[in-house]
Amino acid sequence: MNLFDVYPLYNITPVKALDCTITDEKGVEYLDLYGGHGVISIGHTQPDYVAKLKNQLDNIGFYSNAIQNPLQVELAEKLGKLSGLEDYTLFLCSSGAEANENALKLASFHNNKSRVIAFDNSFHGRTSAAVAVTDNKKIVAPINAQQIVTFLPLNNIELVENELKKGDVSSVIIEGIQGVGGLDQGTTEFFQALEKLCAAYDVVLILDEVQSGYGRSGKFFAHQHHNIKADIICLAKGMGNGFPIGGILISPIFTASYGLLGTTFGGNHLACAAGIAVLDVIESEKLMDNVNDVYAYFLEAIKQVPEVIKVKGRGLMLGVEFDFDVSTLRKKMIIDKHIFTGNANNKNLLRILPPLTIKKEAIDTFIIALKEALAELK
């Protein structure tokens, strides 16, 4: 049987990884400034994480959500403490799209409405409602298009209010910082107005922190830079450092009832062990401090590259913008310089999403390689 061919692949076969280094089958080492789409938070094969997963596997890897699972409770407690949102509750699932799907559904159950406001250039995943609120017609199939969604530009609060006034909007979904779209973000003024309007019009504010959460922005959640509170926060990517786990944090305005949400795999023992190990390492290694330090260092260091016109994003969720399409540059960085970076809908951006453990020396390595690559392409 062949694989269904949906991914354009680089001809690289990683066989080992440690912290920010990936080694391929020929022994070539790559600097990972992309974390496999922003998934690697505490570094590849972090020893405490590996030990915790191995130990969990030796005991019990999975049972359904019909039994007591103290690991879920431990994970929720740690997550509440580290995010500062102890009064929220946690529903566990297995991916970012599933988190968004559950958030949109919970919002609709809650206020009995169905229209969603999403933003231009958004990406929220590939399942039913999640893909319908994603601003990319190419990946929305007719079966997904039956959802009622209105896309608006970021940072235009009047347009949002015009829609909310109509009374049929269930939720507004917004990324803490846009990922796939190209690192644009709402201003503090916009986020704060959005929070107020949602409360005034009985609309659920959903913060998609699947990519921007888990310390990546320098605070636990990117929206916390704007001093607002969301009604539902969606998580995945960094949450398991590669183990598939997602979740939604649910504010106290929602009431749970048996059967309202559910999943077979979500919150299983192995996933929780991964999630707990990640939170323990983020806390003990003070990774959010590292994010802020390396971010400040990056902003200074990138000034050595005159071709860069802007750095978008925040923390270790960055887009380095040029005034040309960077596809060739990105390819050269991987093939010749052995550095993984990412791309975005905005073709002029190199996306930087390294493990949160990245050191300043790795930024130096990146800058030297970037300068060389740019010179070689001239």
Ligand X SMILES: Cc1ncc(COP(=O)(O)O)c(C=O)c1O
CB 9 to ligand X: min, Å:
17
The pattern of x and - marking residues 165 through 184 that bind ligand X according to CB under 6 A reads: ----------x---xx----
Cβ distance to ligand X smaller for residue 43 or 246: 246
CB 184 to ligand X: min, Å:
12
Give the separation between CA 13 and CA 291, rounded to whole angstroms.
28
Cβ distance to ligand X smaller for residue 236 or 333: 236
CB 347 to ligand X: min, Å:
18
CB 208 to ligand X: min, Å:
5
Which of 83, 95, 241, 343 is the binder for ligand X (CB under 6 A)?
A: 95
Residues 6+ apart with CB under 8 A from 49: 42, 241, 274, 277, 278, 281
21 phi, psi to nearest 5 deg: -115, 135
Ranges within 30-89 binding ligand X (CB under 6 A): 37
* Residues 339-344: contacts with CB under 8 Å, at least 24 apart: 339/30, 339/31, 339/33, 339/365, 339/366, 339/369, 340/22, 340/30, 340/31, 340/32, 340/33, 340/34, 341/33, 341/34, 342/34, 342/37, 342/38, 344/179, 344/180, 344/181, 344/182, 344/183, 344/319
Cβ distance to ligand X smaller for residue 37 or 360: 37
Ranges within 210-269 binding ligand X (CB under 6 A): 210-211, 236
Cβ distance to ligand X smaller for residue 56 or 95: 95
End-to-end alpha-carbon separation of the chain, Å?
44
CB 58 to ligand X: min, Å:
28
359: number of Cβ within 10 Å: 15
Cβ distance to ligand X smaller for residue 210 or 279: 210
Give the separation between CA 85 and CA 98, rounded to whole angstroms.
21
At 59, list the tokens.
Answer: 């005991």
Ranges within 112-131 binding ligand X (CB under 6 A): 123-125
The site that binds ligand X (CB under 6 A) totals a number of residues, namely 15
CB 60 to ligand X: min, Å:
25
Cβ distance to ligand X smaller for residue 123 or 220: 123
Residue 169's DSSP bridge partners are: 115
Residues 6+ apart with CB under 8 A from 166: none
Contact 17, 46 (CB under 8 A): no
CB 179 to ligand X: min, Å:
4
Residues 6+ apart with CB under 8 A from 251: 87, 88, 229, 230, 231, 232
Query: For residue 167, which amino acid is it?
Result: G
> What are the distances in angstroms from CA 175 to CA 120, 124, 185, 224?
11, 8, 8, 12
Which of 17, 35, 42, 96 is the binder for ligand X (CB under 6 A)?
A: 96
CB 66 to ligand X: min, Å:
25
Cβ distance to ligand X smaller for residue 107 or 363: 107
132 binding ligand X? (CB under 6 A): no
CB 233 to ligand X: min, Å:
12
Which of 90, 97, 239, 311 is the binder for ligand X (CB under 6 A)?
A: 97
154 phi, psi to nearest 5 deg: -65, 150
By CB under 6 A, name the binding residues for ligand X: 37, 95-97, 100, 123-125, 175, 179-180, 208, 210-211, 236
